[in-house]
Amino acid sequence: MLAYIVRRLALMVPTLFGILLISFVVIQFAPGGPVEKAIAELRGTDVGSTARISGGTAAGDFAGTGQGAGGGGNSSYRGAQGIDPQLIAELERQYGFDKGPVERFWIMIKKYVTFDLGESFFRDRRVSELIVEALPVSISLGLWMTLISYVISIPLGIRKAVKAGSVFDIWTSGVIIIGYAIPGFLFAILLIILFAGGSFWSIFPLGELTSENWHELSWPARIADYFWHMTLPLIAMSTGAFATITLLTKNSFLEEIRKQYVMTARMKGLSEPQVLYGHVFRNAMLIIIAGFPGAFIGAFFTGSLLIETIFSLEGLGLLGFEAVFDRDYPIVFGTLYVFSLLALVVNLVSDLTYTLVDPRIDFESREV
């Protein structure tokens, strides 16, 4: 087992390197960049910005588009006509474009090895600080959504397997398929209109995980306040979260129920609950556990990108989303690095969980 863990950890290194390399290459061909954004803000034409120009960032440590590298005063920047070439050269130096793309990439990689994510171009703060502040929101959405979906979907899937072909099985399948077909972002907007002060009632809050006076509340009141803020985002995410796990659980149990050992257990006089949860459950749950990383990471990514933006929750997805529009490349690559690392770690944890469910599985003889 130890050898398998070491191999998997070693494999994470080239995987992360490949993700960052491909993303860096793609960024080189993206239009615009932090220098053009800074020029637009200086001219007062950058109306879509969510950030402001930093006075002195360590921008040279990070990736960006290949524009103007080593070309102080390069007038090829959009909107640069009439601006002092020395000022443009200073912007290039500040944002690191006085270095070539290869040098910028290797500087970034060396710093990421020590988890030094650098400093934001436009927020005057360390990227690691911004990510640490945003992680609780994204983890809360992903973790709670995964737990809720598993707690509801597994018993429902087992019940559907036992009642396969019945009226209960048919109408529950219809309900979860309809829920799966409803776009989460549209349902989120509907919830805001109805319950968050849109056009009808103002029952639930928007933005942040807790109220401003959260630290002044008692512990029961803090818990209630936390879930008060989480209610609408979790409802919006849950519309299509149950279909995959429920149907996977049902099909997995149906396959196991038809096997010979189940018939033997019944012939020995075991009750149906003893057969289902004493024999079938362990074997059927293997494939469900295999789907846990996808469920968690899927909720983590989906919640970060859509739900956080719609409900104004300052999580990792919203942070990265705004950074893309702001051309704040240290945040873009920092959030990508954290997302990728979390996904790889969760997949490793999932593989190790297999052995807890079925000790017969031997990873030592398995090639990575």
Instruction: Assess whether 141 and 109 both reside in one domain.
Output: no
- Residues of the chain under the 70 pLDDT cut: 1, 43-82, 290-291, 294, 301-304, 354-368
The residue out of 86, 101, 125 marking a domain boundary is: 125
Is 38 inside any structural domain?
yes
Residues 98 and 211 in one domain: no
**Cβ atoms of residues 46 and 79 within 8 Å:** no
H or E element in which residue 274 lies: helix 272-275
Domain boundary among 68, 92, 125: 125
Same domain for 249 and 135?
yes
Same-domain pairing of 37 and 150:
no
User: Nearest Cα to 235, choosing from 328, 322, 122, 311?
Assistant: 311
Based on the domain organization, do 115 and 143 belong to the same domain?
A: no
Would you say 172 and 265 are in contact if contact means Cβ atoms under 8 Å apart? no
Tens digit of pLDDT for each residue in 164-200?
Answer: 889 999 999 998 888 888 887 888 889 899 888 777 8
Answer yes or no: is 320 within a domain: yes
Same domain, 160 and 207: yes
Residue 189 and residue 278 in one domain: yes
> Which of 252, 256, 245 is CA-nearest to residue 148?
245
Q: What's the pLDDT at 294?
A: 67
Is the same domain home to 101 and 134? no
User: Does a structural domain hold residue 75?
Assistant: yes
pLDDT digits (tens, 9 = 90+) for 295-333: 777 777 666 677 888 888 888 888 888 888 888 889 999
Interatomic CA distance for residues 150 and 154, integer angstroms:
6
First to last CA, the chain: 12
Name the domain boundary from 125, 150, 165. Answer: 125
DSSP state of 65: -
On whether residue 148 sits in a domain, the answer given is yes
| 261 within a domain of the structure (yes/no) | yes
Structural contact between residues 92 and 72, judged by C-beta atoms closer than 8 angstroms: yes
State residue 73's pLDDT score: 42
Within-domain flag for 137:
yes
Are 305 and 217 in the same domain?
yes
On whether both 180 and 279 belong to a single domain, the answer is yes
- Report how far residue 37's alpha carbon sits from residue 44's, in angstroms, rounded to the nearest whole number: 10
**CATH code for the domain of 322:** 1.10.3720.10
Residue 172 lies in a domain: yes
48 and 146 co-located in one domain: no
Q: Decide if 295 is inside a domain.
A: yes
Structural domain total, the chain: 2
135 and 121, same structural domain? Answer: no
Tell me what pLDDT residue 21 has: 93
- Structural domain span for residue 105: 18-125
In angstroms, the CA 292 to CA 286 distance is 10
